[in-house]
């Protein structure tokens, strides 16, 4: 089983996402030419469960930014940065 990143919101709701290094490469490849907003939404919709999406939908934009920062900090790789950048 792949390791997950777990996050608890300020409202006490918990959600789990795959660690960034466990996101299927095909999903990243398919999104590479999309703009930043589309990449973000398609990535989340591609890896989150319906329960997790419901938690995300109830969060504010500031809370989602905190989630994204924590998710990236928890990971050993960074999305959007390639070694050729």
Per-residue pLDDT of the chain (85 residues; tens, 9 = 90+): 578 999 999 999 999 999 999 999 999 999 999 999 999 999 999 999 999 999 999 999 999 999 999 999 998 776 555 444 4
b/e for 1-24, b at 16 or more Cβ within 10 A? eeeebebebeeeeebebbebeebe
Domain ranges of the chain: 4-74
Neighbours of 43 (CB within 10 A): 19
> What is the Cα–Cα distance from 4 to 10, expressed in whole angstroms?
20
> What is the Cα–Cα distance from 71 to 34, expressed in whole angstroms?
21
């Amino acid at each position: 089983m792949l390791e997950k990143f777990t996050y608890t919101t300020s409202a006490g709701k918990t959600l789990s996402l795959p660690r960034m290094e466990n996101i299927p490469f095909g999903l990243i490849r398919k999104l590479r030419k999309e703009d930043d907003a589309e990449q973000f939404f398609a990535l989340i919709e591609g890896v989150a469960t319906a329960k997790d999406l419901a938690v995300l939908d109830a969060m504010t934009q500031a809370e989602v930014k905190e989630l994204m920062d924590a998710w990236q900090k928890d990971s050993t790789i960074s999305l959007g940065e390639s070694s050729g950048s």
